[in-house]
Amino acid sequence: MTTPRHDPVLLDRVVALLTPSLDHTDAVLVDATLGLGGHSEAVLARCELARVVGIDRDPRALELSRERLAPYGDRFTAVHAVYDEIPDVLADLGLAEVDAVLFDLGVSSMQLDLPERGFAYAVDAPLDMRMDPSHTASGPTAADVLNTYEPADLLRVLREYGEERHAKRIVAAIVRERAREPFTSSGRLVALLYDAIPAPARRTGGHPAKRTFQALRMEVNDELRVLERAIPAAIDAIGVGGRVVVESYHSLEDRVVKRAFTAASKSHVPEDLPFVPEGHEPALRLVTRGAEQANADEIALNPRAASVRLRAIERVRPREGAA
């Protein structure tokens, strides 16, 4: 088995955005996408008053992060869950609210770097792509999607989640090939994509399998719908002075985050009022101006930073009904 590695994207900037919320006794960060614990480790090291609750749906990630963060003792708690289950996780831990929530979305370095998980297109591996492979009944594998979806549904997946311009050609090839023999491994799919995508398109825009693999992963793990539930739950979980920080790597993910942050930071008084009456100010404010991106130096050090979009929001007024 390959040893996974982890290079957190925009690590210093993320910690800087989280620190103002975590500089007091008993501060709690929920790392909603724990992975191998790179962001959590930096927070535990630099924010010495804070503790971290790390959530991940991948049992292997939890195992490795527990080992990595063991020196921090009871300042770190690992929880096996999906990040839209934040309210349940906090209730189980007896936490009414927390001080910060971090999301580092998409597939983790560990999942990409372990070929047996089927996320990477550089090696031949079983077409699984479930972020929690222990949940055998939690949904289809990537092979199930390829072999059983109606052509129209496959087309939707590739166009919506992969933004694949050649989706129609790819789906026609998949349907033709699966009738001959069901798909089981990534190598055969990659070969099909090389044949289906025109040569001029293969020479630009990165690996020709990138968009299809991304689309399959997002479909298998229901990522957008989970995110649509998770971001409002995270916003609701933070107390005054608390922050939600999100790193997105796909335009659809960033759109979900932007929409939720914009709605949460807008006043709900009529737009034609010349001023916002006292007590009706927005409960949250945007911390970042739009979406921050990685600079050339960061991208050179960590190519996975090329597509990152970083946003942060802060609660400035109590939640309705909160003491």
Feature table: binding site for S-adenosyl-L-methionine: 37-39, 56, 83, 104, 111
Written as six digits, the tokens of 210 are: 């990138």
CA distance 86 to 92: 10
* Vertex 313 angle, CA 256 and 43, to 5°: 105
Q: What angle do CA 64, 70, 71 make, to 5 degrees?
A: 140
Q: How many residues are recorded in the chain?
A: 323
Buried b (16+ CB within 10 A) or exposed e, 114-126: bbebbbbbeeebb
User: What b-and-e string marks burial along 158-172, b requiring 16 or more CB atoms within 10 Å of the CB?
Assistant: bbebbebebbebbbe
Q: Which secondary structure element, helix H or strand E, spans residue 28, and what is its range?
A: strand 27-31
Q: Where are the strands (E) in 32-155, listed by range? A: 50-56, 76-80, 98-104
CA distance 140 to 254: 25
Angle between helices 251-264 and 223-237 (to 10 degrees): 30
Tokens of 214: 């991304």
Residue list, annotated binding site:
37-39, 56, 83, 104, 111
Interacting residues of 121 by C-beta distance below 8 A, sequence separation 6+: 186, 189, 190, 207, 209, 210, 213
Distance CA 151, CA 157 (A): 10
What values do phi and psi take at 77, rounded to 5? -130, 125
